Amino acid sequence: MPNSLIVNTISSQLNISAKQISTVAGFIDEGATIPFLARYRKEATGGLDEEQLRDVRDALEFQKTLASRKETILKSIKEQEKLTPELEAQIKGCTDLTVLEDLYLPYKQKRKTRGDKAKEKGLEPLAQLIWEQEIESGSPDDYAKEYINKEKEVETLEDVWQGANDIVAEWINEHLEVREKLRDIFLKHATIKTKKNPTVKERTNFEDYYEFAAKVDRLKPYQILAINRGERENVLFVSTEVWEERTLETMDDIVITNDMSIFTERIQDAVEDAFKRLLSPSLERELRNALTDKADEHAIETFATNLGNLLMQPPLEKKIVLGLDPAYRSGCKLAVVDGTGKYLDGTTIYPTPPQNKIVESEVVLGKLIEKHNVELIAIGNGTGSREAEQFVADYIQKSGADVSYLIVNEAGASVYSASKIARDEFPDLDAAQRGNISIARRVQDPLAELVKIDPKSIGVGLYQHDVNQNQLSGKLDDVVESCVNEVGVNLNTASAPLLTHISGLGKRVAEAIVKQRETSGIFTSRNEIKEIEGVGEFRFQQAAGFMRIPESKNPLDNTAIHPESYEAAEKLCNLFGIDLENLSSQKDKIASKFGNLNTKQVAEQLRIGEPTLELIIENLQKPGRDPRESLQKPILRTDVVKMEDLKEGQKLQGTVRNVVDFGAFVDIGVKQDGLLHISSMSKTKKVEDPHDVVGVGDIINVEIIKLDLERERIGLELV
């Protein structure tokens, strides 16, 4: 358990009570998962949601890191025999890693510096005189002459002053207040400037930054990441500028304590040297790192939000789907899956350039559709997608087949197709066909299929390969965990990759569950998973509420009601005359029974908390409910629109494919996604964050406000 200082620090940072912080810390120490705490321990945590719980978890992790670093620093300074009670108290009370490193800077083991060499030459006493600024009369050179020593290679007055200056400059560099003040100046007033590398001749994606300048506090996260990438690819030169004269004056105000001192001019020289040689390069690096961290955090949040929306797309269940993976020379792969996602049939056709075998391809497509009663064609959005779409649309119009199609984001399908998961699922198929099956299944249940793919490979991010990969992976794992547990899984149909993300399970137990199902048949009770090796009482407690068993004799096994609340649920049903065996046929009756319930009184009667009672009531009313059911279903099409058919002022319906800082990319059924710029999202107010208006997968009405056929660019406005 964390100590009271840590608890109070986190409480103040997050505006959550110290009692809640301590409670959550205790649960996490025991191994409880965030989804479990958010859903089944509301009474204990004071109703904290997943986001708040993860904030507490992350703050606790940071405090552990901070405590570990303090321990290392204290040990190092103690070994140098330089640890004073005051310094120890400062270090122990520090709550910021940057300030902690500033405190450690004078004691940090580093390569021998110019100041160290000057000390070896005996010049520290003179540096001390300069630093203390107490002498107000006499000639500075008279004091310096005493330190000329040819044996130590200090042959002239210039050598003496240079060495003393080096020592004082390092003291200024290590001065806590100087660093804090300059850090503040860099964060608030520095300007980032970029210029094109003159050796770059070809066109690049960084042309907006060939002559660019912006105050750091006005830089957008995507600009920071673009500048970083441009610099890394040697296309851009980047510099950081502050008002040097004002900055040096600020340093003088801190360092110069007596302007009557005969060494004032010398200390001013040391201030300038410290700034140019030591502080400016160090703080520029620190600033760039801080900007990158901030941009990373924002990009990761954007990616996470997009991923969450994508994973929570409503499933088109029980539809027989034909997946079409488009291509040119190598042909379009076809794969038919039944309503459960089982692979039925597949082949390759060549309706796209250069073969253009349209008639032959129509015959093959028609036979597959007729043979398997295909209801929907899922076309991947990769190379050749629009030509494949045109072929499919023409076929539907010509044949009159009762089938529709939609374009599916195929990002990550090739990653899945080459993975061990795909090889285990389809050992006899080639990689291309495995990827095509994934495209088809994404329509039937996006969540169940996309969890098999590394989230970074799902194309809804911006600069996701540039950001901190550990932080990105951690955040995306949180999103996947959250989505899977919010929906819950059917224990009798879920794949091992899907079960892996269920609260408390993990890969080994998930695989054991699937193996048990394959050898012993379906599960008929939640309690049966206790028989699986590795599932003790605690793991069962964490996982049980997120598993659904439609085949169970106990209808509560197909709800989000936790087994620990079954007794309370049964008592509630008895109190209100509800037949627990036939929940699904009593929806209206249940709704009327619970219409004007005094939840506090009933909760006390059942000896449970109000949040638990509310969860029980919600699930009795909607047993087996999938939270994705209420979301907009994807647009199904039967014909295709060409770029040439569009005109400004035209109103269309489209699907949001990606949301970024400056707007959203919208599929309106043509080759190129249109850009709904943030400035075109509202006519009545300024939109600060596109996510406040649209999300990935949303079906929206838009108007074309700009059309550039030559550059294939479409500007949209939200209707």
- Provide the token pair at 613: 């009672």
Residues 439-450 as b or e (16 or more Cβ within 10 Å = b): bbbbbbbbbbbb
The string of pLDDT tens digits covering residues 505-527 is: 999 999 999 999 999 999 999 99
Nearest in space to 382 (alpha carbons), one of 336, 427, 315, 332:
332
The pLDDT of residue 351 is 96
The pLDDT of residue 260 is 93
- The CB density around residue 374, as the number of other CB atoms within 10 Å, is 24
pLDDT band at 83 (very low <50, low <70, confident <90, very high): very high
Residue 172 has pLDDT above 90, yes or no: yes
The pLDDT of residue 208 is 93
CA distance 547 to 545: 6
Rounded percentage of the chain residues whose pLDDT exceeds 70 = 99
Question: Comparing 183-192, 370-379, 448-457, 612-621, which segment has the lowest mean pLDDT?
Answer: 448-457
Name the helix (H) or strand (E) containing 710. none
**Ordered structural domains, the chain, with CATH:** 4-107 (1.10.10.650), 114-190+242-300 (1.10.3500.10), 321-460 (3.30.420.140), 643-718 (2.40.50.140)
The pLDDT of residue 56 is 96
Q: Across residues 218-238, what is the average pLDDT?
A: 94
Residue 589 has pLDDT above 90, yes or no: no
pLDDT band at 345 (very low <50, low <70, confident <90, very high): very high
What 8-state DSSP symbol labels residue 690?
A: G
Q: Across residues 607-622, what is the average pLDDT?
A: 92
Beta bridge partner(s), residue 391: none
The pLDDT of residue 561 is 95
The string of pLDDT tens digits covering residues 257-299 is: 998 999 999 999 999 999 999 999 999 999 999 999 999 999 9
The pLDDT of residue 381 is 86
Rounded percentage of the chain residues whose pLDDT exceeds 90 = 72
Q: Across residues 607-634, what is the average pLDDT?
A: 87
Q: Across residues 413-422, what is the average pLDDT?
A: 89
Helical pair 97-104 and 50-79, crossing angle rounded to 10 deg: 0
Q: Across residues 160-168, what is the average pLDDT?
A: 96
For the chain, the C-alpha Rg in angstroms (whole number) is: 33
pLDDT band at 145 (very low <50, low <70, confident <90, very high): very high
Q: Across residues 613-634, what is the average pLDDT?
A: 85
| Residues in CB range of 315: below 8 A, 6 or more apart | 444, 445, 446, 447, 448, 626, 628
Residue 306 has pLDDT above 80, yes or no: yes
Nearest in space to 545 (alpha carbons), one of 530, 556, 534, 536:
556
Residue 386 has pLDDT above 80, yes or no: yes
CA distance 377 to 283: 56
The string of pLDDT tens digits covering residues 114-123 is: 999 999 999 9
The pLDDT of residue 350 is 96
The pLDDT of residue 295 is 92
Instruction: Tell whether omega for the bond before 690 is within 30 degrees of 0, i.e. cis.
Output: no
pTM of the entire structure? 0.84
The pLDDT of residue 237 is 97
Alpha helices (H) in 352-468, listed in sequence order: 358-372, 385-399, 413-417, 420-425, 431-444, 446-450
In angstroms, the Cα distances linking 550 to 315, 584, 616 are 18, 12, 17
Q: Across residues 2-13, what is the average pLDDT?
A: 88
Q: Which pairing describes strands 236-241 and 713-718: parallel, antiparallel, or unpaired?
A: unpaired
The pLDDT of residue 584 is 76
Mean pLDDT score of the chain? 92
The pLDDT of residue 596 is 81
pLDDT band at 458 (very low <50, low <70, confident <90, very high): confident
Q: Across residues 399-426, what is the average pLDDT?
A: 89
Phi, psi angles (nearest 5°) of residue 708: -125, 95
The C-alpha torsion from 564 through 565 and 568 to 572, rounded to 10°, is -160
- Say if residues 214 and 191 touch (Cβ distance below 8 Å): yes
The pLDDT of residue 711 is 79
pLDDT band at 53 (very low <50, low <70, confident <90, very high): very high
- Say if residues 404 and 636 touch (Cβ distance below 8 Å): yes
Q: ∠ at Cα 229 (224, 231), nearest 5°?
A: 95
Residue 490 has pLDDT above 90, yes or no: yes
DSSP strand E in 260-418: where? Answer: 321-325, 332-337, 343-349, 376-380, 404-408
What 8-state DSSP symbol labels residue 174?
A: T
- Say if residues 149 and 121 touch (Cβ distance below 8 Å): yes
Residue 211 has pLDDT above 80, yes or no: yes
The string of pLDDT tens digits covering residues 519-574 is: 999 999 999 999 999 899 999 999 999 999 999 999 999 999 999 999 999 999 99
| Residues in CB range of 72: below 8 A, 6 or more apart | none
- When comparing pLDDT for 307 and 709, which is higher? 307
The pLDDT of residue 586 is 79
- Provide the token pair at 256: 């110069």
The set of long-range contacts for 446-449, using a CB threshold of 8 Å and a minimum separation of 24, is 446/310, 446/311, 446/312, 446/313, 446/315, 447/311, 447/312, 447/313, 447/315, 447/483, 447/484, 447/487, 447/498, 447/628, 448/315, 448/341, 448/494, 448/495, 448/498, 449/341
* C-alpha 567, offset from chain centre: 39
Residue 335 has pLDDT above 90, yes or no: yes
The pLDDT of residue 594 is 83
pLDDT band at 633 (very low <50, low <70, confident <90, very high): confident
Residue 164 has pLDDT above 90, yes or no: yes
pLDDT band at 375 (very low <50, low <70, confident <90, very high): very high
Beta bridge partner(s), residue 250: none
Phi, psi angles (nearest 5°) of residue 368: -65, -45
The pLDDT of residue 513 is 94
